[in-house]
Structure 1
């Protein structure tokens, strides 16, 4: 069938429908318009069921309401060492649990990081150009260099000062959030402060979340704020 014939057929149908509606009483015409509109939008069957029994989904007055059973979350039986640490940490949530030592971030460290990561932008590795063109008047450390120092800043890699000595192994799971509010200028000293935010039992031990703030000596704004997630195995 040609497109012209389809349009002609459609026009004849609309004309016929209009003639029928003119012969209807106002009340019937209103119901008919509503049915046509709902049918065109594909909701006719839903409307019809609701019109026939508008409270079909509601229980009768005396009909008992059957509640769905609550699915219980699996509970992990912690080892005694893990349970002891878990109980101890509950009272420390929201408090600072570690402050590290100061670490110097000199130009040599920045250059080495740029060489390893192949990020040698002049704002990091060209002191002369940075002095004349950078708003900081000196080179600044890569944001990811500051981030890479977190294990050292939080003593996570120091076997002589373990933060959680009861655990046999600590695994870095990742970071939930990372921000770099202020750059670390070459020659600055930085340190980290860790606040415990969450402790969750897991199958092999505990999941620990900490907010780590990297501070710059003599600067009010932090260099980095990150939410660290680690797993402790016992």
Structure 2
């Protein structure tokens, strides 16, 4: 895990891979809880019996936005950003869902610092993200997430 304490330390990693998170298993319970939270109970996510016979994946799949919602959890395993007053999720750019994540698959985040700017004392970091699926050639998604960090110094 990389530790970042200020803008200059962050900027020193421009263009570099920052790291890879641990593997995380997507369970049916997690999918069902996400369906309840988002009111998205489409059968391809929540009905294992029907998915086994009618889905091209032969299993339920995680909501794309569920896999996206794992970003803060997985990012915290890649980078230990310290010495800040506030972090803001600023945006998502060029995100593409490339492959469905079937239930019980393991995923992990690979992160790279694609761009960084100092906006009058606020660090705007654009992190290239790839959510890999274990034993799959295609990732679940790729894109850029943008965070704003208000560092203390």
**Length-normalised TM-score, structure 1:** 0.59
Q: Which residue of 2 aligns with 1:216?
A: 133
> Does the Cα contact within 8 Å between 2:18 and 2:79 map onto a contact in 1?
no
1:36-47 paired onto structure 2 within 5 Å? none
How many residue pairs match? The answer is 148
- Counterparts in 2 of 1:58-97, with a 5 A limit? 85-97=6-18
Q: Distance in 2 between matches of 1:199 and 1:215?
A: 24
Instruction: Find the aligned partners of 2:6 and 2:73 in 1 and give their Cα distance.
Output: 23
After TM superposition, which residue ranges in structure 1, 4 or more long, deviate above 6 angstroms?
Answer: none
Contact 1:181-1:221 within 8 A present in 2 as well? yes
Alpha-carbon distance, 1:218 to partner: 1.2
Higher strand proportion: 2
Secondary structure of 2:80's counterpart equals coil
For the 8 Å contact 1:98–1:154, the answer to whether it is kept is no
Cα deviation, residue 188, structure 1: 0.8
C-alpha separation in 1, matches of 2:132 and 2:65: 15
Higher helix share: 1
In structure 2, how many angstroms separate the alpha carbons of the residues matched to 1:125 and 1:175? 27
1:221 is paired with a residue whose SS is coil
Q: Aligned match of 1:203 in 117, 120, 142?
A: 120
Q: Which has the larger radius of gyration?
A: 1
- 1:162 CA drift (Å): 5.6
**Mapped contact 2:129–2:142 kept (Cα < 8 A):** yes
Q: Specify which of 25, 48, 54 is matched with residue 127 of structure 1.
A: 48
Residue 186 (1) aligns with residue 103 (2): yes
Which residue, 73, 93, 118 being the options, matches 1:152? 73
TM (norm. structure 2) is 0.88
Q: Give the whole-Å Cα distance in 2 for the aligned partners of 1:101 and 1:162.
A: 12
